[in-house]
Amino acid sequence: MDEYSVENVEKVVRQIADMKITSKKNTFQIIRGSVLGKLVTPGLFESIAILGKEKTISRLKK
């Protein structure tokens, strides 16, 4: 991802969901829980963009 923006974060997360490993809803919830620590949060894509690339990747690796 060249530019770490809300739009690009959304594009990448939707590409992951389109892999159909599980439903889109489950994909978003798994990412939300892993990155943000809660299943109910403000906008997923906006929250990930604000958190930043390094912190997001670090939390996904845990």
Is residue 17 within 8 Å of 25, Cβ to Cβ?
no
Instruction: State the amino acid at position 24 in one-letter form.
Output: K
pLDDT digits (tens, 9 = 90+) for 13-49: 999 999 999 999 999 999 999 999 999 999 999 999 9
CA atoms of 24 and 19, how far apart (whole Å): 9
What is the span of the domain harbouring residue 10?
A: 6-61
Q: At what angle do helices 53-61 and 24-36 cross, to 10 degrees?
A: 100
Please, which pLDDT band fits residue 62 given cuts at 50, 70 and 90? confident
Is 11 inside a domain boundary?
yes
CA–CA distance, 23 with 8 (Å, rounded to integer): 21
DSSP class of residue 19? T
Q: Is the pLDDT of residue 1 over 80?
A: no
Query: Amino acid letter at 47?
Result: S
Query: What is the domain-level CATH number for residue 57?
Result: 1.10.10.350
Rounded to two decimals, what is the model's pTM?
0.82
Number of domains observed in the structure of the chain: 1
Residue 1 is assigned to a structural domain of this protein: no
